[in-house]
Amino acid sequence: MVIRGGRPLSGRVEVSGAKNAALPAIVASLLVDEPVVIENAPKLRDVETQLALVEALGKTARWEGNTILIRGEVSSVEAPGEVVSRMRASFLCLGPLLARFGEAHVPLPGGCVIGARPVDLHLEGLRRLGAEVEVREGVVHARGKLHGGEVWLRYPSVGATEQLLLAGAVIREPVEVVNPAREPEVVDLARLLSAMGAEISFSEDRITIQGGKLKGTGHAVIPDRIEAGTYLLAGAITGGEVEVVGARPEHLTALLAKLEECGVELAAGQRTVRLKARAPWSGVEVETSPYPGFPTDLQPQFTSFLALARGRSVIWERVFESRFGHVGELLRMGARITLQGQAILIEGVEGLRGAEVVATDIRAGAALVLAGLAAHGETRIEGVDHLRRGYENMEGKLAQLGAKAWVEELNGT
Ligand code: UD1
């Protein structure tokens, strides 16, 4: 992606459906043979990968606009390594296949290179529900008739919580997940599973799922809070004025509070957030944590924003142990940042300059896009594939805000 930066963005941009809500929703289709219709799905690479997964397991999937129609019977309980290695969220098929058919064979997942990202909590959880789990040559082999029970997560992992919700939806006894993740995407999955016929309730420290005979259903996924946050930060870092339409402010409270602390003007409506920023903004201290804390998926983008803040900032990355792929690249653009263990120490600078940089994962790529929009001169970001995994029509949306950003394909167009 090539960006000619240095101009304030202004205008309105509409947020797409949440990638991280669409991915488990697609896997939920494996729980039934009846059709499942997913509305407001974002058209992006990771969603295509998840559809390739359920198709490899016997389903057919068809797009109509932003709606996906998934139908057909499950014909295999063996997930292809070629798909699972591309994306971590495809590992979510383990629980539903196992719970429904009594066995599942799923390779250990790939995905973004942001720390070790083990799946021990997923496997321990399924073992607690009666699964026999073996890992041989990189493939998880799970067998057994699952029963109800209480699963305590020592960390509120999003993926492990979703894995257990998906499995619990067909177990005829209550499954209790203690210390679960409470991200809006987890709640959205629970809403879908409830519409399919499971009984799910949230209390202070747990989620209880009573599974049953499920049926197909339709479900509209929630707006993407990380995409919304990315465009808000694009407005902020360029000292611009933008409105993100379709965003749910209640899903963005940690980001909005930090932006206000920096001195950015915000106005939140029911389904929209408007922002007006003027340099210089103040530096702040931020710590990522599970929802409703500051999302790790906005940490790289916020790093870019703070690179241009007045004074010092500190970001503590508490969710992943090495999510700093953007930092070295921001240094090449003139940022003053040092890494100290899990902390990023930022000394604000007055301007960034365009450079040739490399995106190492989805959100690191987004951080470089934001830096490029604010920088003087031209920024060339290699690794657009990462952006395509997580952002629907990013060039188009940036253009709506007046950015000069385009993608040069390898053939030079
Ligand atoms: C999901 C999101 C991802 C986001 C992350 C945290 C999707 C598709 N992806 O990823 O965008 O950054 O939540 O909000 O929804 N962990 C373990 N053992 C496990 C599982 C996780 O130690 O079995 C650790 C991970 O290494 C990591 C932390 O827990 O340090 C958080 O991971 P988790 O919440 O599971 O994230 P994902 O579901 O992979």
| Interval 355-387: pLDDT, tens | 999 999 999 999 999 999 999 999 999 999 999
Cα distance between the two ends of the chain: 12
Q: How confident is the model at residue 115 (pLDDT cuts 50, 70, 90)?
A: low
pLDDT (average), residues 261-290: 97
Cα gap 80→94, rounded to integer Å? 12
Average pLDDT in the 326-342 region?
97
Query: pLDDT band at residue 322, thresholds of 50, 70 and 90?
Result: confident
Burial of 27 (0-12, 13-18, 19+ CB in 10 A): buried
Q: Which tens digits make up the pLDDT trace of 117-163?
A: 689 999 999 999 999 999 998 899 999 999 999 999 999 999 999 99
Q: Does residue 89 line the site of ligand 1, with CB under 6 A?
A: yes
pLDDT score of 116: 54
For the chain, the average pLDDT equals 95
Ligand 1: centre distance to CA 115 (Å)? 10
Rounded Cα gap, residues 167 and 123, in angstroms: 12
Q: Is any ligand 1 atom within 6 A of the Cβ of residue 94?
A: no
> Is 312 near ligand 1, meaning CB less than 6 Å away?
no
Residue 86's pLDDT is 85
Residue 112 falls in the annotated catalytic set: yes
Q: Which of 1, 79, 112, 368 is catalytic?
A: 112
Task: Find, among 193, 170, 244, 211, the residue nearest to 398 by Cα.
Answer: 244
Average pLDDT over residues 339-362: 96
Split at pLDDT 50, 70, 90, the class of 413 is very low
Distance CA 174, CA 179 (A): 16
Going by pLDDT thresholds of 50, 70 and 90, the confidence category of residue 409 is: confident
Q: Relative to the CA of 291, which ligand 1 atom is closest?
A: 14
**Ligand 1, atom nearest to 159 Cα:** 38
pLDDT tens readout for residues 56-111: 999 999 999 999 999 999 999 999 999 998 889 999 999 999 999 999 999 998 65
Query: Can you give the pTM of this predicted structure?
Result: 0.97
Structure tokens, 43: 């058209």
Distance 108 CA to ligand 1 centre (A): 14
Does ligand 1 have an atom closer than 6 angstroms to the CB of 119? yes
Cis status, amide bond into 280, omega within 30 of 0: yes
Segments of the chain assigned to CATH 3.65.10.10: 2-16+223-406, 19-220
Tell me what pLDDT residue 117 has: 66
Ligand 1 probe mutation, 298, 319, 362, most atoms within 8 A of CB: 319
Q: How far is the CA of 410 from the centre of ligand 1 (A)?
A: 33
- 164, burial (CB in 10 Å: exposed 0-12, middle 13-18, buried 19+): buried
CATH class of 19-220: alpha beta
Topology (CATH) of 2-16+223-406: UDP-n-acetylglucosamine1-carboxyvinyl-transferase; Chain (3.65.10)
Q: What is the pLDDT of residue 113?
A: 55
Per-residue pLDDT tens digits for 13-56 = 999 999 999 999 999 999 999 999 999 999 999 999 999 999 99
- Within a 10 A sphere around the Cβ of 166, how many other Cβ atoms? 29
- Confidence class for position 281, pLDDT limits 50, 70, 90: very high
Q: What is the pLDDT of residues 251-260, one digit of tens each?
A: 999 999 999 9
Predicted pLDDT at 411: 60
Distance 193 CA to ligand 1 centre (A): 21
Other CB atoms within a 10 A radius of the CB of residue 132 amount to 12
